[in-house]
Amino acid sequence: MGQSLLACRPTAIAAEGDVYPPFGPTLNIPKNNDDSATPPAAMLLMLCVYVCFTFLDTSSKYLVLAGVSALIVAWARFTVHVLLVGLFLRGWREPARFRANNLPAHILRGCLLFGSTMFNILALKTLQLAETTSIYFFGPMVITALAGPLLGEWAGWRRWLAILTGFVGVLIITRPGVGVFGIGHLFALGSMLSNSFYVIMTRRMSSTETSESLILFSALAPSLLLAPMLAFAPALPHGGFQWFVVLMLGVFGAGGHYLLVKAYRLATTTQLAPFPYSQMVWMIISGWLIFHQFPDRWTLLGAAIIVASGLYIIHREHRLRVRNSASLDTEAEALAKKL
């Protein structure tokens, strides 16, 4: 998918985009209750976010099918985004905000995002947009599983059941052993796994690194790492239109993140968690209109299972959050009565 510099799409743990805006130093999280109605403006913004990310993936697929090197596509995506982020953050005014306390970790995190993006672009060359998106949506379940051993945030048996159910959806889409599983599915799985570790690293580094450094280096590291490889890129864009599409990659990515930040200023993470799944609709429409491809019934079935599993995990974690909050309120009230 259009790899986010801030977050995996829907995720079982807090997305980086929830707290690290790409176009401003702070993000005012709304104080409205999770059970309140989602503001219509936030819903509209979230729908526009995933339209932008759909344009990003559609443009990437168009370019690689036209013969443009995946290295060029990935480098342009990151470099234009870096320039736009630097422009909006006005980094020349307060460069200290971008200081990296753990540069090797930033580089490793950037490499993970680079791997996620490259694998995704290579997957788009052979798979339909809806197929790559469906596999990518399994990422939040992988993150939920990894959060236990890596972050000490263990999932209960209900969420593990949802993870296994989601894996069944992946198997239905890829259908290994029946002649369907190919190199494109392998690339899509690699992209999803790389992004999952990227999100885990983001969570670990968020307590020691500034939001600006996390935003900058996540794009700057891949951009610099890719630069020496451009000399080996087998094919450059041809004609003005292809160069225009290459430049728009960064615009779609940066624009999507800007709208994402605006949405999170209006609503809570829980309220907005289901909306990333709307990208499946845009991907199916885009694949049909631009590439004349429509997913088969197995892909649709697998996607439905993965989305349902992801939505259950979101629902379950919301219930646990509410329960824990109620428990803390009860303990505070009991303590107050003793004082």
Interval 27-42 mean pLDDT: 59
pLDDT-above-90 percentage for the chain: 11
Give 52 or 175, the one with higher predicted confidence: 52
Confirm whether 6 is domain-assigned. no
Domain total for the chain? Answer: 1
Confirm whether 333 is domain-assigned. no
pLDDT of 22 strictly over 70: no
> What domain range is 191 assigned to?
16-23+38-328
Burial class of residue 226 (count of CB atoms within 10 Å of its CB; 0-12, 13-18, 19+): buried
142 near 192, Cβ under 8 Å?
yes
Confirm whether 101 is domain-assigned. yes
117 near 253, Cβ under 8 Å?
no
Confirm whether 28 is domain-assigned. no
For residue 61, what pLDDT is reported? 92
pLDDT of 210 strictly over 50: yes
Interval 135-158 mean pLDDT: 77
109 near 217, Cβ under 8 Å?
yes
Interval 177-197 mean pLDDT: 83
CA 311, CA 277: separation in Å to the nearest integer? 9
Confirm whether 338 is domain-assigned. no
Q: Is 202 helix (H, G, I), strand (E, B) or coil?
A: helix
Confirm whether 31 is domain-assigned. no
Question: Which tokens is 261 given?
Answer: 């930040």
pTM: 0.74
Give residue 307's region: left, alpha or beta (phi > 0; psi -120 to 50): alpha
For residue 191, what pLDDT is reported? 92
